């Protein structure tokens, strides 16, 4: 049986190992994010905590219907507000950012659904008021109740290395539609994509998997 002195000597090693494992998980497997807005309702609710799978994006496998987290591609979000607070609390937050429990506030993130991938022609809207991809109408059962597919008309072709994204709550999402004048013409470079949302982990009442959906095969 180990004595207390032996355990105390091993404790720093165990802490280091735990941090290394956490960093590896954050870097290559899973990262957790907080949902601050209602742009993805009802799929994701404000204050949900979601798990993001980073593995598929090592090979850049991004599909229509995926719900993805990505870094702000070109000032889609305002500058983050950082207030002077408790220094000790700030250090704790920095530690949580380092191990992936909290996202890095210096790298602003968004979450949207992938509507178009490279080569797709995405258009709004058909005579029956549906989005069209490559000339085919698509069904979108995930759209927030009462919303139309889009009140903004557009007709774009997604270039290589980019995706076209939209929020499920179309009336409350400043997505690709509203950034067509920026350097990426509303597209999100795949290099900015962190990973795919696979599930809601908190609060418990919202716990569950978040699947991909695409009516266009």
Q: pTM of the full predicted structure?
A: 0.78
End-to-end CA distance of the chain: 61
For residue 10, the model assigns a pLDDT of: 59
Q: Per the domain annotation, does 153 fall within a domain?
A: yes
For residue 102, the model assigns a pLDDT of: 58
Q: Extract the tokens encoding 115.
A: 């509507």
Q: Per the domain annotation, does 15 fall within a domain?
A: no
Q: Does residue 21 have a pLDDT over 70?
A: no
Identify any residues that bridge with 49 across adjacent strands, giving them in sequence order.
34, 202
Q: Is 66 in a helix, a strand, or coil?
A: coil
Catalytic residue among 112, 130, 162, 192: 112
Distance CA 30, CA 153 (A): 36
Q: Extract the tokens encoding 79.
A: 């500058």
Q: Does residue 113 have a pLDDT over 60?
A: yes
Q: Does residue 93 have a pLDDT over 50?
A: yes
Q: Per the domain annotation, does 98 fall within a domain?
A: no
Tens digit of each residue's pLDDT (9 = 90 or more) over 22-34: 454 454 568 889 8
3-state SS track over 167-183: CCCHHHCCCHHHCCCCC
How many Cβ atoms are within 10 Å of 68's Cβ, its own excluded? 26
Which has the higher per-residue pLDDT, 60 or 162? 162
- Which residue has tokens 């008021």? 129
**In CATH, what number is assigned to the domain containing residue 198?**
2.10.109.10
Distance CA 149, CA 128 (A): 11
Q: What average pLDDT does this structure show over 62-87?
A: 80
For residue 201, the model assigns a pLDDT of: 93
Number of independent structural domains in the chain? 1
Active site annotation includes 150: no
Q: What average pLDDT does this structure show over 50-67?
A: 80
The pair phi, psi for residue 124, each rounded to 5°, is: -130, 130
Binned at pLDDT 50, 70 and 90, residue 80 comes out as low
Q: What average pLDDT does this structure show over 31-60?
A: 85
Q: Per the domain annotation, does 201 fall within a domain?
A: yes
For the residues of 27-62, what is the DSSP string, one character each? HHTEEEEE--SSTTTTTS-TT-EEEEE-GGGGTT--
For residue 202, what are the domain limits?
36-82+107-209
Identify any residues that bridge with 200 across adjacent strands, giving them in sequence order.
50, 208
Tens digit of each residue's pLDDT (9 = 90 or more) over 123-177: 999 999 999 999 999 999 999 999 999 999 999 999 999 999 999 999 999 999 9
Q: Per the domain annotation, does 214 fall within a domain?
A: no
For residue 103, the model assigns a pLDDT of: 56
For residue 210, the model assigns a pLDDT of: 94
Q: Extract the tokens encoding 106.
A: 């210096």
Q: Does residue 15 have a pLDDT over 90?
A: no
For residue 31, the model assigns a pLDDT of: 86
Q: Per the domain annotation, does 2 fall within a domain?
A: no
Q: Per the domain annotation, does 178 fall within a domain?
A: yes
Active site annotation includes 91: no
Q: Does residue 50 have a pLDDT over 90?
A: yes
Distance CA 199, CA 13 (A): 32
For residue 77, the model assigns a pLDDT of: 84
Q: Per the domain annotation, does 26 fall within a domain?
A: no
Q: Extract the tokens encoding 190.
A: 């795949």
Q: What average pLDDT does this structure show over 76-98?
A: 65
Cβ atoms 124, 118 nearer than 8 A: no
How many Cβ atoms are within 10 Å of 56's Cβ, its own excluded? 16
For residue 95, the model assigns a pLDDT of: 66
Catalytic residue among 39, 150, 173, 176: 39
Q: What average pLDDT does this structure show over 175-188?
A: 95
């Amino acid at each position: 049986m180990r004595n207390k002195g032996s355990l105390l000597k091993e404790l720093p090693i165990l802490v280091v190992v735990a941090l290394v494992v956490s960093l590896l998980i954050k870097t290559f497997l899973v990262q957790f994010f907080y949902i601050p807005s209602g742009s993805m309702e009802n799929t994701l609710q404000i204050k949900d905590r979601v798990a993001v799978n980073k593995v598929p994006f090592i090979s850049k496998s991004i599909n229509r219907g995926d719900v993805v987290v990505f870094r702000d591609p070109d000032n889609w979000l305002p500058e983050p507000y950082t207030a002077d607070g408790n220094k000790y609390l700030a250090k704790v937050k920095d530690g949580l950012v380092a191990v992936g429990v909290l996202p890095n506030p210096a790298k602003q993130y968004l979450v949207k659904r992938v509507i178009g991938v490279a080569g797709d022609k995405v258009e709004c809207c058909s005579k029956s008021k549906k989005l069209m991809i490559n000339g085919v109408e698509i069904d979108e059962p995930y759209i927030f109740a009462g919303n139309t597919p889009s009140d903004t008309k557009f007709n774009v072709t997604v270039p290589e290395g980019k995706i076209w994204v939209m929020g499920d709550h179309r009336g409350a999402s400043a997505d690709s539609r509203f950034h067509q004048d920026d350097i990426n013409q509303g597209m999100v470079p795949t290099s900015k994509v962190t990973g795919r949302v696979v599930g809601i982990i908190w609060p418990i009442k919202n716990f569950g998997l978040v699947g991909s959906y695409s009516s266009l095969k």
